[in-house]
């Protein structure tokens, strides 16, 4: 790793050690949003990591972004999720598909912590977003949005949501379209979802759209081109998620090695027990393998090559590996792993969602299968 990347890793880790790790358990217990951490993340350049400097961001490439997300994933997945959505799904989409005006309007805010959200999932349309029923009806020189979205990260605490809806013009369905919708637009209502298994300090919302009016300048990409926008965003989002999962798995291993060295049973540290070492060794293999798959994505991305196969492979393996590692970490900690004096039970709960969102593990298998065979089994 280059010295710049090492310095970046050290800076983000230092921030996480000072500001994030000490508060993560309490925020998880209270389901409290990490608003007080955002100014520090802005100052560090994390919230604008991939946004070009001309828009107030840090202008990092995907190698730098991976390091930032891995470190956040190690410290607190709720915070990692907030940043992954802000940048991996929203910032990169506005950079890829946005007009000059859209980029100037939204990117500086994203870098300043006025967050972005990605509104694809609906109550009746999850793994198959083409079932969506949200509508954007052409009215005069704009659009009127109606519908419902669910499980939307940053959905109430952000400034803008990429709302995916069917564009209806003169009664005809012109296809799924993405609309950059201000969260303070009249008719946009967000409601926090409480009682989550993990990511309890994050903003996950249900969104109601009641006659929300937006102009043509809200359309990101083309009318009817929403699935292209969504799929390209998910490629970036899944990369981010895989990097975060590597961070979580690595942290689970680090705290387990430390605990195994300190905890004494049978007259010595449990680190000396072969079956404990087996747990640690299995975690190490997962961390190394998942990291290698993320490296492969970074390499392709830096070369400007398409990498959907590599991204789905890394997302599938790294997220499943993070669940395995967090589960083994609980095992290494014994009964203490089951209570929130130690971070490993939070890590297990936080890891669990990563095999569900941005395409479940089943969906990743189907994407990989389709790319290998040319046949869709969805």
Ligand X SMILES: Cc1cc2nc3c(=O)[nH]c(=O)nc-3n(C[C@H](O)[C@H](O)[C@H](O)COP(=O)(O)OP(=O)(O)OC[C@H]3O[C@@H](n4cnc5c(N)ncnc54)[C@H](O)[C@@H]3O)c2cc1C
The CB-of-119 to ligand X minimum distance in angstroms stands at: 6
DSSP class per residue in 122-168: BTTBSS-GGG---EEEEETTEEEEEEEEEEEETTTTSSEEEEEEEEE
Interacting residue with ligand X among 34, 48, 91, 126 (CB under 6 A)? 126
The CB-of-73 to ligand X minimum distance in angstroms stands at 15
User: What tokens does 34 get?
Assistant: 């990490």
- Residue 151 as a binder of ligand X (CB under 6 A): the answer is yes
Per CB under 6 A, the list member of 118, 239, 259, 317 interacting with ligand X is 118
Nearer to ligand X, 85 or 314 (CB): 85
Residues 6+ apart with CB under 8 A from 267: none
Q: End-to-end distance of the chain based on CA atoms, in angstroms?
A: 39
Quote the least distance from Cβ 281 to ligand X, whole Å. Answer: 30
CB 46 within 8 A of CB 16: no
**What whole-number distance in Å separates Cα of residue 238 and Cα of residue 240?**
5
- Tell me which of 10, 35, 43, 127 binds ligand X, using CB under 6 A: 127
DSSP 19: I
Query: Shortest approach of ligand X to residue 96 CB, angstroms?
Result: 18
Looking at beta carbons only, is 303 or 372 nearer to ligand X? Answer: 372
Measured distance CA(91)–CA(82) in Å, rounded: 12
Q: Does 121 bind ligand X (CB under 6 A)?
A: yes
Q: What is the DSSP letter of 307?
A: -
Task: Assess contact for 276 and 319: CB atoms under 8 A.
Answer: no
Helix (H) or strand (E) holding 109: helix 100-111
Question: Considering the rule CB under 6 A, would residue 353 count as an interface residue with ligand X?
Answer: yes
Q: Which residue is nearest to ligand X (CB)?
A: 126
Q: Which of residues 77-106 bind ligand X (CB under 6 A)?
A: 85
Identify which of residues 48 and 116 has a Cβ nearer to ligand X in the complex: 116
Which range binds ligand X by CB under 6 A, 6-14, 28-36, 59-67, 357-365?
Answer: 357-365
- Out of 20, 199, 233, 307, name the contact with ligand X by CB under 6 A: 199
Select from 41-49, 60-68, 255-263, 350-358 the region that touches ligand X (CB under 6 A). Answer: 350-358
CB 267, min distance to ligand X, A: 44
Q: Kindly indicate which of the ranges 66-74, 256-264, 300-308, 360-368 contains the residues binding ligand X, using the contact rule CB under 6 A.
A: 360-368
Q: Which stretch binds ligand X (CB under 6 A): 116-124, 170-178, 182-190, 208-216?
A: 116-124
Instruction: Give CA–CA dist 326/306, Å, rounded.
Output: 31
Told to check if 131 binds ligand X by CB under 6 A, we report no
The neighbouring-strand residues paired with 191 are 206
Instruction: Determine the interface stretch with ligand X among 55-63, 112-120, 210-218, 304-312 (rule: CB under 6 A).
Output: 112-120
Residue 55 near residue 108, CB atoms below 8 Å: yes
Residues taking part in catalysis: 358
The smaller minimum CB distance to ligand X, of residues 200 and 324, is found at 200
Task: Name which of 69 and 298 has its Cβ closer to ligand X.
Answer: 69
Give counts: helices (H), strands (E), the chain. Answer: 12, 10
Q: 209-228 in b/e burial notation, b at 16+ Cβ within 10 A?
A: beebebeeebbbbebbbbbe
Give the C-alpha separation, 101 to 7, whole Å. 34
By the 10 Å C-beta count (0-12 exposed, 13-18 middle, 19+ buried), 124 is classed as exposed
Residues of this chain that bind ligand X (CB under 6 A): 85, 118-121, 126-127, 151-153, 196, 199, 204, 353, 356-358, 360, 362-363, 366, 378
């Amino acid at each position: 790793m280059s010295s710049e990347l090492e310095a970046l890793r050290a800076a983000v880790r230092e921030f996480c050690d000072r500001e994030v790790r000490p508060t993560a358990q309490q925020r998880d217990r209270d389901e409290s949003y990490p608003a007080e951490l955002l100014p520090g993340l802005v100052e560090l350049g994390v919230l604008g990591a991939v946004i070009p400097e001309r828009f107030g961001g840090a202008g990092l490439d995907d190698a730098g972004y991976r390091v930032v997300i891995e470190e956040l994933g190690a410290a607190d997945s709720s915070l990692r999720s907030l940043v992954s959505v802000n940048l991996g799904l929203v910032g990169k989409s506005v950079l890829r598909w946005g007009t000059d005006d859209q980029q100037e309007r939204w990117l500086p805010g994203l870098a300043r912590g006025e967050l972005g959200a990605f509104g694809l999932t609906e109550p009746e349309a999850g793994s198959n977003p083409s079932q969506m029923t949200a509508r954007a009806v052409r009215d005069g020189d704009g659009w009127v949005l109606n519908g419902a979205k669910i499980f939307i990260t940053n959905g109430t605490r952000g400034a803008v949501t990429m709302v995916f809806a069917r564009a209806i013009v003169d009664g005809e369905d012109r296809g799924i379209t993405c609309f950059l919708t201000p969260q303070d637009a009249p008719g946009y209502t967000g409601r926090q979802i409480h009682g989550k298994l993990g990511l309890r300090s994050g903003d996950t919302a249900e969104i109601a759209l009641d006659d929300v009016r937006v102009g043509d300048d809200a359309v990101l990409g083309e009318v009817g081109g929403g699935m292209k926008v969504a799929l390209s965003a998910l490629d970036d989002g899944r990369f981010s998620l895989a990097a975060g999962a590597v961070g979580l798995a690595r942290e689970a291993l680090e705290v387990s090695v430390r605990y195994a060295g300190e905890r004494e049973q049978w007259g010595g540290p449990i680190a000396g027990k072969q079956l404990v070492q087996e747990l640690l060794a299995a975690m190490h293999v997962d961390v190394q393998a998942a990291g290698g798959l993320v490296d492969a994505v970074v390499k392709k991305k830096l070369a400007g090559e398409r990498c959907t196969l590599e991204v789905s492979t890394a997302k599938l393996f790294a997220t499943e590996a993070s669940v395995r590692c967090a589960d083994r970490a609980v095992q290494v900690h014994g009964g203490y792993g089951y209570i929130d004096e130690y971070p490993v039970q939070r890590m297990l709960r936080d890891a669990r969602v990563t095999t569900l969102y941005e395409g479940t593990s089943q969906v990743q298998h189907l994407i990989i299968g389709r790319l290998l065979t040319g046949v869709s089994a969805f």
